[in-house]
Chain A
Amino acid sequence: MAIFSLAFKSLLNRKFTFLITLFSIAISVALILGVQTLKDETKTSFMKSISGTDLIVGARGASSQLLLSSVFHIGNTTNTIKYDSYKEISQLPVVEWAVPISLGDSHKGYTVMATELSFFDHFSYANKQSLSVQSGEISDDMFAVIIGSDVAKKLNYKVGDNVVMTHGGGEIDGHDHDNIPYFISAILTSSFTAIDQTLIISLEAMEAMHTEHNDFHSALPSEQSTRTDTQQDDGHKHEQHDHDAHNNHDTHNDHAAHNDHDDHDDHDEHAAHNDHDDHNDHDAHDEHAAHNEHNEHNDHDAHNDHNDHDAHNDHAAHNDHNDHDAHHDHHDHADHADHAHQHNDTPEQRIARLLQIKPENINAVFIGLTSRQAVLGVQNYVNNYKNEPLTAIMPAVALQELWAFFAIAEVALDIVTVFVVLVGLLGMLSIILMSLNERRREMAILRSVGARPGHIFALIIGEAAAVCFSGIVMGIALLYGLLFALQAPLANHFGFYLDINFLNLNDLWVLATIQISALIIAIIPGVLIYKTSLSDGMNIKF
């Protein structure tokens, strides 16, 4: 005990070198603990990215790829699955809910995700927390966009602002879908998941952006005069009529198929189509006639009120049909067309509201099952799905697998921090070694009063222990100081929520290892001074 109080007083006597050693150890301790904490927190926040979803279904491929694209919105979005597959899977009795998502567009670098409103009811993260709204409210309007907290913060958006999406990742300029602006209906509270950096729109709106609806302009109840004036080609107008007739069809696939054709030069085929569908809707002929009439009017320079009036009537009828069909096919968003925002709509938006087309392809489906036991069965069903190759992943399992990829980086980080600690300890060693020569007299005095070489040895070890221990204590203080200081900026600027916990068992092991390493390293000067104190006798050398 006496020797430790000696060691302590001796350290105090050399405050300056002691403090330097202390700082170097404290910094390395703070670093190693900080890196551990960051690693743990990164992992936890990674694992918290999605919860409550039992399966994610996507195109056949690597599970990590599907996880990255659907949950983290990273990477490839070209692998799609059919909307019909989603419909069929969602109808399985064990499927409690299923939410389709479609990706591929962006807004100023932020991901645009198209989904259904039920996404907000079912998607959850961390410990089954649902997304919540920070301002505004989730609107069911077709062109409403709900934005993540980071998007709002970084781009300084408020509820009610208008935004335009960009095709793809925004790599190519001039691919903005600026004919379909969105209004921000809600800003979500921060979830510290990829949703914070995401803009959420409806599937129908996403589809509308990606379909060339120019052909439908004449179908609009108003404003069409300006648009149609610009169209000169007669044949083109005929095609429009065909498409209008097609609006009355029941399936989207037909629409999509037509839309995909940029130039419909084969008139006859369309005519045949019309004929074929006659039995579905005998009004089509009348409408067709009306349209023809209408177009002829358009060819005239002068617009007369009477003709306009006719056209309006026609289109009103048209509209009714469309609404009716929408009701039949998809139960939701049927009354979008009547929304208050319609008066500001661009022609493209009006058309889209009329059409209400669901996309043909989507990227992934989030699925919740009625019981956990059903997971494997459904996964098996999906993986062997008959109509197209699909993959179903369990998010928790896939997250674990993906995290395993980062293991190598973790190891690299560990190695670096271990070396930083080692450098700190070597600094301590060199300072103790340097002190030895000037302390030979001190050692001789101690020997003369009866101190054993073992005491001298213990004095050195005790000093190292004290330096290291204070370094560790200071390092912990430094760490928590930093964590508390960095918590808010990290959350604000990087969307990374740092949860501050007390040191875990692993940290305590790390600290114990550092302390023990310090003792082991101090054996070197300890042995040196032991030997000199034995061989020097009590000669005081100057």
Chain B
Amino acid sequence: MIKINDLCFSWKTTPVINISNLHIQTGKHLFIEGPSGSGKSTLLSLLAGVLTPNSGGIEVLKQPLTSLSSSQKDSFRADHIGFIFQQFNLIPYLSVIDNITLPCSFSTIRKQKAITRSGDLKSEAVRLLKALGLTGEDIFQRNVNELSVGQQQRVAAARAMLGSPEIIIADEPTSALDSAHRDAFISTLFNECDKENITLIFVSHDSSLKKHFNHHINLGAINNIKQEQQ
């Protein structure tokens, strides 16, 4: 479902990614680790079609990204990929519900899926929040800055899962959480992904999380770029 062939990417003149071959199957939970600066975030941006490779091919859901125009890549991302960042995932001026339903502003496919699932966007958002362990009307109405970091990360996960995209990409989503919250977060995330048959690509420094995943990649190992820094 994700195929990478001879992928090369450089930030300006500095080569960051050089991966000859990588295949990820549908529904797999992939754990990507690697030292800081090894290009993990860069790789995720390439997979999401935000960055364009210098050479080589990326195929996502049988769609070669290199053949898409940049706006087609943007709609492709909106339709098929959910993203969770390390922290500060939420737009501060939007309510919890508005933050979750944000992808529907850019993807009619996900909007349709969410509506067929729960009738309307709001109840689908509430369903996802409940599945992730966030209950109580007061939380939905609160300003997102009034949520704890753990709650914020679960709201971000709910957004990534809304409208069942085929792929969820998480860039160090647990690094701001303490270990108890981290484990709870990962297990709810896994549950949801399993139910929806979502492929999860998870980046972390934290090798203690490795055990939850059935696939692991060490970017330092598969990346042919020699690390000068750090």
Contact = CB atoms under 8 A, between A and B. Distances in A.
Contacts of B96: none
A342 interface: no
A441 B171 CA distance: 14
Interface stretch (B41-49, B128-136, B216-224): B41-49
A131 B97 CA distance: 71
A450 B75 contact: yes
Contacts of B89: 445
Contacts of B44: 538
Interface string B67-100: 0001100110111000101111111111000100
A444 B75 CA distance: 15
B105 A448 contact: no
Nearest to A441: B88
A538 B83 contact: yes
B94 A450 contact: no
Interface in B15-74: 41-42, 44-45, 48, 50-51, 70-71, 74
Nearest to B46: A537
Given A449-B83, A451-B74, A452-B74, A537 B93 contact: no
Given A12-B93, A538-B41, A538-B83, A449 B78 contact: yes
A12 B95 CA distance: 13
A217 to B, nearest CB: 94
Nearest to A450: B78
Nearest to A10: B93
Contacts of A444: 85
A541 to B, nearest CB: 11
Contacts of B93: 9-10, 12-13
Interface hub of A3, A445, A450, A455 (most chain B Cβ within 10 A) = A450
Nearest to A455: B106
Contacts of B94: 6, 9
Contacts of A453: 70, 74
Contact of A450 (B85, B87, B90, B107): B107
Contacts of A500: none
Contacts of A9: 93-94, 98
A96 interface: no
Looking at chain A's contact residues, the main secondary structure is: helix
A501 B111 CA distance: 50
A450 B74 contact: yes
A442 interface: yes
A538 B203 CA distance: 14
Contacts of A61: none
Given A9-B94, A10-B93, A539 B103 contact: no
B106 A449 contact: yes
Given A442-B91, A449-B78, A454-B71, A539 B45 contact: yes
Interface in A438-463: 441-442, 444-455
A455 B48 CA distance: 17
A449 B169 CA distance: 11
A540 interface: yes
Contacts of A447: 50, 74
A2 interface: yes
Contacts of B154: none
B200 to A, nearest CB: 16
A131 B206 CA distance: 94
Given A444-B85, A538-B45, 14 more contacts: A6-B105, A9-B93, A445-B85, A448-B50, A449-B83, A449-B103, A450-B74, A450-B77, A450-B103, A450-B107, A451-B78, A451-B106, A537-B50, A539-B41
Interface of B: 41-42, 44-45, 48, 50-51, 70-71, 74-75, 77-79, 83, 85-94, 98, 102-103, 105-107, 159, 171
